[in-house]
Amino acid sequence: MEEEQLLLTRRDRDELKVLHELRRGHITQREAAEQLKLTERWIRELAGRIESQGDRGIIHGLRGRPSTHKIAEKIAKKAVTIIEREYADFGPTLASEYLARDHKITVSRETVRQWMLRAGLWKRRKQRLEQVHVWRARRSCFGELVQWDTSDHDWLEGRGEERIYLIAMIDDASSRALARFARQDSTAENMRLVWAWLEKHGRFVDGYTDRAGLFETNRPNQRDEERDGKLPETQIGRALRELGIGRISALSPQAKGRIERFFETAQDRLVKGMRKQKVRTLEGANVYIEQEYLPMWNERFTVRPANEVDAHRPMGKEHDLASILSHVEPRVMGQDYTIRYGGRLYQLRREQIGPGLKQQTVRVEQRLDGRLVVQWRGKPLEAKVCEPARRPTHRTPPRANGAAGKKRNKGGNHGWMKGFHLHGGPSLEEVVAHAYGEPWEQESE
């Protein structure tokens, strides 16, 4: 009689040995159950199977049969065809999400991964040996620390706009994010994103940024700065100080890993999502990230902070965002109530001129909406562009036969002194009128 060959696992062989010892009476059912870590009831069941079926009784009756939950081969082929046609460069996780959302094929990401491996659409990733960095624990409260950075990437994959940047802020405690696209990684665009965060959540405690020129001055310190121990502020640094927000500099990319991983995910999911929606413009990209991507991120990839207390502080009346989030420079008011800014001359309106304003330092704000606002002691002043009056040019007639020219009058009766008295000069109204090019009548002596 030909002997039957059984394919047994290591577990099967271990169980057979113990059950044979049980049949010989070398051990009890309780001892067999303890050795195999099974119940006594199941030991009796296995012993009965071996008694009636021989060693085959140790093998489960469903072994080798297809599962009743196995996905039909027709569905698997359809899914692989769709992935190969539309999602060839997608990962298994993202591909499974799009299959469920757009094609009503709901399967696990592991099943999709196996399908993609068999079809050659996915390769097992080799584990890279990288430098180990110690993970920093998250802050405990929402708004306690906000990481902030910009990513330069081919976001539209050559469609429409040549180059756009993604400026993003992410909370360290919860990973809640806010981001927008811009054509430039400029101070103004970063301020617009901060404005949106402040209006939505309030004033966060600290910002965590790199050491780019937008956030801190990179030029060598001047002698007076070294002597006084004062480092010059950037416009963003000044705005954060006026808002009562601190700033911490990251000394390496790994230090701000939260925002770096946000960008890494966006360069995969966000790029492919905008590709499917055929986004071609900056405006369309901002609509997609605001209505589609950020809600998905804040729902799926955020965590609950260790402490439920919100560390954001409310905005006060003194926090005028239009004034603070602008380009600010000091200027000195001239004798004729004019200031120079951006290569142009600006003059105050007549009704805003008052005593004590000359030679005073005023605050000039170039706001994000393009307006120019002048402030003095917290009071806004209106200034308009003016052009200085051109002085008439006088040609001096040539001297005849070497004759000496007319001597210059060095006394107090020179033409430019006309109208001024030593002890009784013109009034303030007359000086203002003269500054605006209007002559005044001088009383006769």
* Range with the poorest average pLDDT among 28-32, 94-98, 239-243, 391-395: 391-395
Tokens of 56: 């085959």
Contact, 168 vs 177, CB < 8 A?
Answer: yes
pLDDT tens-digit readout, 155-203: 999 888 778 999 999 999 999 999 999 999 999 999 999 999 999 999 9
With respect to residue 358, please indicate whether it lies within any of the assigned structural domains. yes
With respect to residue 182, please indicate whether it lies within any of the assigned structural domains. yes
With respect to residue 124, please indicate whether it lies within any of the assigned structural domains. no
Regarding whether 180 and 269 lie in a shared domain, the answer is: yes
Nearest one of 119, 173, 121, 128 to 146, comparing CA atoms = 173
pLDDT reported for residue 444: 44
- Hey, which bits of 307-343 come out as E strands? 327-332, 338-341
Regarding whether 442 and 345 lie in a shared domain, the answer is: yes
State the residue range of the domain holding 334: 326-389+418-445
Q: How confident is the model at residue 445 (pLDDT cuts 50, 70, 90)?
A: very low
Q: How many domains does the chain have?
A: 4
Distance CA 173, CA 178 (A): 14
Q: How confident is the model at residue 255 (pLDDT cuts 50, 70, 90)?
A: confident
Residue 373 has phi, psi (to 5 degrees) of -125, 135
Q: Which amino acid is at 136?
A: R
Regarding whether 441 and 384 lie in a shared domain, the answer is: yes
Regarding whether 378 and 279 lie in a shared domain, the answer is: no
Q: Across the beta sheet with 361-366, what order do the strands follow?
A: 327-332, 361-366, 372-376, 379-381
The mean pLDDT value for 95-123 works out to: 90
Q: How confident is the model at residue 423 (pLDDT cuts 50, 70, 90)?
A: very low
Higher pLDDT, 49 or 176: 176
With respect to residue 305, please indicate whether it lies within any of the assigned structural domains. no
Regarding whether 365 and 443 lie in a shared domain, the answer is: yes
Regarding whether 251 and 155 lie in a shared domain, the answer is: yes
C-alpha Rg value of the chain to the nearest Å: 40
pLDDT tens-digit readout, 304-338: 999 999 999 999 888 999 999 999 999 998 888 88
With respect to residue 170, please indicate whether it lies within any of the assigned structural domains. yes
Regarding whether 261 and 348 lie in a shared domain, the answer is: no
Classify burial at 162, counting beta carbons within 10 Å of its beta carbon; exposed 0-12, middle 13-18, buried 19 or more.
exposed
- 3-state SS class at 241: helix
Cut 0.85: pTM above it: no
pLDDT reported for residue 143: 95
Residue 345 has phi, psi (to 5 degrees) of -105, 130
* CA 79 vs CA 1, 75, 83, 89: distances in Å: 49, 6, 6, 15
Nearest one of 244, 262, 302, 243 to 167, comparing CA atoms = 262
Contact, 358 vs 371, CB < 8 A?
Answer: no
Regarding whether 295 and 151 lie in a shared domain, the answer is: yes
pLDDT tens-digit readout, 1-17: 456 666 788 888 888 89
Distance CA 272, CA 287 (A): 15
Nearest one of 442, 339, 423, 416 to 381, comparing CA atoms = 339
